[in-house]
Structure 1
């Protein structure tokens, strides 16, 4: 389809800081596709591991995203679906401009502290996995998504990332008012009219209208007003959109500063990044605009605030967690890396593995929120052994001593299709299926066959014929 931009959009942008109609229209007409991703420091802890994955994705090399420690541009887009590294959680495919969230967080938050962080509009998980990479292991991230189907996708992407200190919830923003003064950092990548993504997804052009911009602006105000009570005094709010429209960007900053006890925070940004600083008319709040004709990324807007005052956190009566039986605990511990820090919570038929802060907070969160996922699901204790869950396989808590089978590229893809990769091995019983030392999932090896336990809903459907 044509990349013709709506005339009403162009007219609304005239006069905004950094807007140049000629270059803006030209970059959209050229429709260059930019591919960027962010490596997972949990799973690629060394420079050598990172280089191995980048080399596999792009033999021609990769360029750094300047505002993100783990972000890279690839010269061409590979088939991520047919890359076992992707399914192992080695990286997250994320638009480069939105990776700037890292710089905003590093500039405003003490990341050495124990933090409670909320990513309110979190699906599909790009900003949540980025936030998880920044916070300490002693901190906790609540990744929330109001739409049920998108919350399921978010949970899958958090599972693949492998961290234990994350909760995925499926709630309306107003539900967080039941947690007053609770979070140190709230990130709201608000639903918007999407004009910043027109180059990447031209279909969005047909859905854009001035009326939709107004509707989005009203929805953004409702979302912010509903969740702000949950931000603690001196806590940080980071607001972003992928819209160019001032009604969803600068006007929201003025509205926030005018209606709430919030101080705008300015960021120190190197000039060579070509990010445009904008100042609002009424309250002189600073925000940051990303234009695709000025930098290597899509349209994006972001701003930061600190809360001057707020409701004191509610005093909660601490409730005791259910205790795992000694027998089930023994079944579990052989599957885990040695650690005295984790708590083990029986939940329905399963056992959940929770780090200390999450173990302390889980009963409160369960009272206030609908929780889709918490910590790492270890599996179900059977009569003789644990039946391990997929979450355990791709987590960072699984033991290094469990039998593992190294698969070739073709074998790994067959496994990910939930087929039999046809391996020959003397290993019997439960085993991790691995590609280049990265766990993909479980299989149970029997004398004459292999039972593939890769989750049906995650399996690859793409044809892999021709791959050796």
Structure 2
């Protein structure tokens, strides 16, 4: 059925695209494709699905299943992400040196699609700061990144202007800016109802403020990648052209295979962007542009600067160290034990000190009455050593019952902590105490839907 779009939107597309506009509008009335991106650090079996051509680990699904009923998603084996936005991988690979230790900021990160992608690209010496200004969305972001399992991630809850405290700090900043959402019209019908020329204009103004607020945090020579999910030039290449008039930068053109039919768009000052159109690619509307900063001063670590966290006691360190595959520095934050990269104290200390932190590094354990309670984040981390705890492999229905935080049957004789797994991937913890098991899956993560009598079985991977 053909979708009715606002006349002002259709008319602008006609001016912008000419005869091609009608083809795009027809495509926006079709079904949106479903795609996932697997976690290369958790899932290693070959995937027999159609590949997203610009992504190393992206795949299309023939239909949209009930992802809630797949424990592999809860284990962080894959992330449900729109295919066009996976092109961020190619932009990063062509504009920064991923062999080097990088400090990276994903500024508008919730719910976590681009952050999980970045976390998979960066090397073990890099740091990813994943930020979201809305607190409730920052909690969702933290949950998704915890499940993804990347150890060198900080989740923060700050306004873009707060990052001027870290002047010249980041090698790469990704700004996936809030926009008018035209690229989501067929995926989210509510986006059509919320669209208006005035709202698009407000979005453009807000995007400019975000860009200028975060620009000081980018080091000279650093790269800023700007993206939106809209077709509006005023929110896309127009904003980067405007930024080039306020700052000193150079545009970074990409090598793009013409077979992909990604449209190259140009603006003044040699600005080049890349536009995904649903009538040309198997994906939604998406715009991306990369620029390099040419001015400013690079952040320097203070000569004498006390780290804002207290090192964990030797007894606790000795107990938790064998739980991880990598050597880590351990710090205590209230009753929590955090594992941070060895020797990265200056940069990590600056971020923890200057920003409002939701989580940092790997939350390994909580200290309760001198005993250590292994954290859910530990079980899901890619640096967790599984063989340090007894494991309990579950079938599909059992795994979903565990994820619903249901009461747990008693069929193990050994008291203590047991690692719950599904298809050899950890989900979380239970603890046997005498005649009962306690389900330690986080209450706010639990599946709330009732389980059907007959489970469909996703068969995604």
If the length of structure 1 is used for normalisation, what is the TM-score?
0.93
Give yes or no for contact 2:183–2:231 (8 Å, CA) kept in 1: yes
Aligned position for 2:284: 298
Provide the C-alpha distance between the structure 2 equivalents of 1:198 and 1:250, rounded to a whole number of angstroms.
20
Number of residues paired by the alignment? 452
Matches within 5 A, 1:137-152: 137-152=124-139
Q: Deviation digits for residues 411-451 of structure 1, max 9, x if unmatched? A: 00000000035362233210110001000000002342211
- CA positional deviation for 1:338: 4.4
Provide the C-alpha distance between the structure 1 equivalents of 2:281 and 2:339, rounded to a whole number of angstroms.
42
Aligned position for 1:58: none
- CA positional deviation for 1:29: 2.1
Give yes or no for contact 2:339–2:363 (8 Å, CA) kept in 1: yes
1:310 and 2:309 matched: no
Provide the C-alpha distance between the structure 1 equivalents of 2:29 and 2:441, rounded to a whole number of angstroms.
43
Provide the C-alpha distance between the structure 2 equivalents of 1:89 and 1:342, rounded to a whole number of angstroms.
22
- Single out whichever of 348-357 and 131-140 deviates more from structure 2: 348-357
Provide the C-alpha distance between the structure 2 equivalents of 1:260 and 1:275, rounded to a whole number of angstroms.
28
1:381 and 2:373 matched: no
Gaps of 5+ in 2: 456-461
- CA positional deviation for 1:260: 0.8
- CA positional deviation for 1:9: 1.3
- Single out whichever of 86-95 and 253-262 deviates more from structure 2: 253-262
Give yes or no for contact 2:301–2:346 (8 Å, CA) kept in 1: no
Q: What SS is found at the alignment partner of 2:398? A: helix
Aligned position for 1:180: 167
Aligned position for 1:217: 204
Give yes or no for contact 1:146–1:171 (8 Å, CA) kept in 2: yes
1:329 and 2:317 matched: yes
Aligned position for 2:333: 347
Q: Deviation digits for residues 280-331 of structure 1, max 9, x if unmatched? A: 1x32311011110111000000000011121232442332452211122123
Q: 1:419 to 1:273 in 2, by over 3 A?
A: same
- CA positional deviation for 1:124: 0.4
- CA positional deviation for 1:258: 1.1
Give yes or no for contact 2:366–2:375 (8 Å, CA) kept in 1: yes
Give yes or no for contact 1:179–1:314 (8 Å, CA) kept in 2: no
Gaps of 5+ in 1: 52-60
**Moved beyond 4 Å, runs of 4+:** none
Aligned position for 1:233: 220
Aligned position for 1:433: 420
Aligned position for 2:355: 369
Q: 1:73 to 1:265 in 2, by over 3 A?
A: same
Q: 1:18 to 1:337 in 2, by over 3 A?
A: farther
Q: 1:365 to 1:19 in 2, by over 3 A?
A: farther
Aligned position for 1:205: 192
Q: 1:82 to 1:202 in 2, by over 3 A?
A: same
1:103 and 2:90 matched: yes
Provide the C-alpha distance between the structure 1 equivalents of 2:393 and 2:290, rounded to a whole number of angstroms.
46
Give yes or no for contact 1:13–1:19 (8 Å, CA) kept in 2: no
Aligned position for 1:11: 11
Q: 1:158 to 1:358 in 2, by over 3 A?
A: farther
If the length of structure 2 is used for normalisation, what is the TM-score?
0.95
Give yes or no for contact 1:139–1:357 (8 Å, CA) kept in 2: no
Give yes or no for contact 1:180–1:314 (8 Å, CA) kept in 2: no
Q: 1:17 to 1:309 in 2, by over 3 A?
A: farther
Aligned position for 2:233: 246
- CA positional deviation for 1:138: 0.6
Provide the C-alpha distance between the structure 2 equivalents of 1:78 and 1:18, rounded to a whole number of angstroms.
37
Q: What SS is found at the alignment partner of 2:256? A: coil
Alignment RMSD: 1.7
Give yes or no for contact 1:124–1:157 (8 Å, CA) kept in 2: yes
